[in-house]
A and B are shown apart, each in its own frame.
Chain A
Amino acid sequence: MPVSITLTVNGKTTALTVEPNTLLVDAIRQHLSLTGTHVGCDTSQCGACVVHLDGVSVKSCTTLAVQADGRSVVTIEGLAAPDGTLHPMQAAFKEHHGLQCGFCTPGMVMSAVDLARVNPDATPDEIRHWLEGNICRCTGYHNIVKAVESGLQAMKTGASAQAAE
């Protein structure tokens, strides 16, 4: 039996009709055509599907769309400013060459942004530990760690700049 749900995705509220067995990632990719969120495994290990659900990073391949009913979802498409300016964490990934093929990148960036919420001064070791649920096969992680370190600092600067306004 299809179920009607309401999702607020990247600030836009949408009503959807989904089967109960629809994964959140499928609702995002197929129903909403936001294909930036990826599926890289089927055992909840790789983290390519990480999105923010009510501001917290979750694996959208291991969440049912119905479980997100009435809640707010932010995907990789929702990070940059409306004028296209990259979010500080996105910019840091570019600056530090924290991506190669780009497939794990959306999940990696969404996880990294969430780290700012819990540990904005994370050390490189803490960053590595935080990213243990995001697998990258290309970069060897070295530059991702550098990018996240820099992105966290930039997010703090951005936040203080906003607070000052």
Chain B
Amino acid sequence: MYTFSYQKPSSVADAVAVLTGDDDAKAVAGGMTLIPTLKQRLAQPSALVDLGSVPGLTGIRRDGDALVIGAMTTHATVAADATVRSALPALAALAGGIGDPAVRHRGTCGGSVANADPAADYPAAVVGLGATVITDRREIAGDDFFTGLFETALEPGELITALRFPLPKRAGYAKFRNPASRYAVVGVMVAETAAGIRVAVTGAGPSVFRVAAMEQALNASFTAAALEGISVDAGDLNTDLHASAEYRAHLVTVMARRAVEAAR
């Protein structure tokens, strides 16, 4: 790791002030992506702004027909939380399948969403469940948040403080994981929401995306069989050592079917 200074702000405002005042400063939440990146000397921040002591960023609460989850809430907490497990079990399952237990004990939902790794699970939850990303200054619709490979709608210095998930009638998540890294080769969140069906795919493309044809089919009939014959265009998908675009396209349909079967 290169050297950097360490800041431990005690409020969101302080954190934002540091990040806004120094373009080379970086916020660290759980650090599960950032620290390995630093270890490989692939990033050279001037300062790390540790959000670990900022009050008010953790916790899970029911807010009417939605769950609000603090940005610094760990994957393990989300996976084990009784409210999440009963009100939004698909999210608990998604969080419980990230990385491994020790990673889930440190990694946070806000960090994952802000990082926008194309193979991360959380983007499928944010888009698939129609969540809202709450920042220090505004609310961003999940559909507008992920703008590309590792790119988001966040402005410089803008911090995610919470995620708000409207409770769907039912939802399911199915993931085909990379056997080495445990990231998603393909992950599909399917949700029946008040505004209709949402199908969001992570891992397969440069960024999370929705599948309109699947959403239409599931609006007509929320069954795995309804997805028969519907596939995404492999031309838009990633090819790497672990899966070709063609195989990913096939997996999107298989995982979507499984997500429908798992939905509750």
On A, residues with C-beta under 8 Å from B are 1, 3, 19-21, 23, 42-45, 47, 50, 53, 56-59, 61-64, 66-67, 69, 111, 114-115, 118, 130, 132-134
Contacts and interface: CB of A to CB of B under 8 A. Distances in A.
A3 B6 contact: yes
- Most chain A Cβ neighbours within 10 Å, of B2, B3, B5, B6: B6
Contacts of B182: 132
A43 B180 CA distance: 11
Given A62-B106, A132-B182, A21 B101 contact: no
22 contacts: A1-B5, A19-B3, A20-B6, A20-B48, A21-B38, A23-B39, A43-B36, A44-B32, A44-B36, A44-B103, A45-B181, A47-B100, A57-B102, A59-B106, A63-B106, A64-B6, A64-B28, A64-B48, A111-B101, A114-B101, A118-B80, A132-B100
Interface in B34-75: 35-36, 38-40, 48, 50, 52
Range of interface residues on B (Cβ < 8 Å):
20 to 34
Interface of B: 1-6, 8, 28, 31-32, 35-36, 38-40, 48, 50, 52, 76, 80, 99-103, 105-106, 180-182
B28 to A, nearest CB: 8
Given A47-B102, A61-B39, 5 more contacts: A42-B36, A57-B102, A66-B8, A114-B101, A118-B80
A133 B103 contact: yes
Can you list the 3 inter-chain pairs with the closest CB atoms, starting with the nearest? A133-B100, A20-B6, A21-B1
Contacts of A44: 32, 35-36, 99, 103
A133 B101 contact: yes
Given A43-B36, A67-B52, A58 B106 contact: yes
A105 to B, nearest CB: 16
